[in-house]
Amino acid sequence: MKATIITIGDEILIGQIVDTNSGYIAKALDRIGIETKEMISISDNKEHILDTFVALQNTVDLVVITGGLGPTKDDITKKTFCDYFEDELVVDKDVLAHVTQLIEGFYKRTITQINKDQALVPSKCTVLHNQVGTAPGMWMKKENTVFISLPGVPFEMKYLVDNQIIPKVVQEYKRPYILHKTILTYGQGESMVAERIEQWENNLPDFIKLAYLPAPGRVRLRLTARGVDKEKLEAGIEENIKSLDAIIHDIIVGFDEDETLEVVVGRILKNQNKTIATAESCTGGKIAEVITSVPGASNYFKGSVVSYATEVKINVLGVPEALINTHSVVSAAVASAMALNVKKMMNSDYAIATTGNAGPTKGDANAEVGSVFIALATPNEVIVEEFNFGQPREKVIDRAVIKSLEILQKEILKNLS
């Protein structure tokens, strides 16, 4: 089965909001064996919407549309559905009762005619009841294609996808299996990883495909198996992951989409009852942000000092001014002092410190743009490494964050072995 996802709204096309709905819907469909053929964003224009429907008719099994179901005049999806399906709008009593209860019972205000009009739906549609909002979803079939309309508000869309769309599709359609397994690697670039696993990749069975998903400092390898025999797919994925692990075990940190480096590091720290603090200059608090993005980070994260300015390094972190004058603010000596001092200040087992020149200009130091010193204070010593992450600025910061966590993970694992 194949699907196309359409987002409707001028606000998306002009960049006023970012479309997150399509990704959520695609993941949900993928989990039940439906392949998303394409994602399209179109304007709030009746002719444009109708032309898109005509073009997709009978080319995919499902067309999932989000947006244009609000109560104002610029929300035209329901009326356009009526034009396409040669239908008319009627009041759905269950939807009207729900909208009335929500407006008068929950929001404690008098319901208006605009609110009541949310209960208007095409007479031929299957109504998808929206318990968390006022706009119902709509399910309508024409020839070989089902058109599903959902509200654009993300939490309402998610509710309908999870509680209405997916159960209905599973019940009504026989689907193939699509299985994914993601292997997370850190420390080597895409080309180097590809070179190491070339022979393994060439020997993959026909029903398994490999995709490289690179990001600064890391590469995700996604295995996708498609077919009708679930046990065969699962066995094939497992067998090939084992053989892959034997080749690049040194750079693999996890085997799941959500098993990011910060999750892995956090789990190790929690299991070992160890804590971490950070002192950040060029990364501007982003290491702390990444660490604390993991639920339960309070079990092992003590805190952070964002010592962006030189005087903060001196006055808050206690880095000697003479040390900075002698070695420069971007130096191994200063990074080491930052890590040691924040470790003592936060009473943590480990501490990460960064100081560098992310660019585009040199700032307080003479270090080359892209230069970063990363220090890790452990219970026994201080490790300092120097890098040049090039440009642009965003790349320098992102790679410094990833490399800091990578250094921490390797050091912790070394102490455990």
SS3 percent helix, strand, coil of the chain, rounded to 5, is 45, 25, 30
Interval 160-173: pLDDT, tens: 999 999 999 999 99
pLDDT at residue 254 in the model? 79
Please indicate, yes or no, whether residues 265 and 247 belong to a single structural domain of this protein: no
* Domain stop point among 217, 232, 254: 254
pLDDT at residue 70 in the model? 73
Task: Provide the number of structural domains found in the chain.
Answer: 3
Residue numbers of the domain that contains 206? 187-254
In degrees, rounded to 5, the angle at the alpha carbon of residue 59 between the alpha carbons of residues 5 and 40 is 25
Class of residue 183 by CB neighbours under 10 A (exposed 0-12, middle 13-18, buried 19+): buried
Interval 195-211: pLDDT, tens: 999 999 999 999 999 99
pTM of this structure: 0.65
Contact between 87 and 124 (Cβ < 8 Å): yes
Which residue has tokens 């180097």? Answer: 192
pLDDT at residue 258 in the model? 66
Please indicate, yes or no, whether residues 366 and 406 belong to a single structural domain of this protein: yes
Classify the C-alpha dihedral 302-308-314-320 as positive or negative: positive
In a domain, 177, yes or no: no
Please indicate, yes or no, whether residues 98 and 201 belong to a single structural domain of this protein: no
Please indicate, yes or no, whether residues 241 and 275 belong to a single structural domain of this protein: no
Backbone angles phi, psi at 286, to 5 degrees: -75, -30
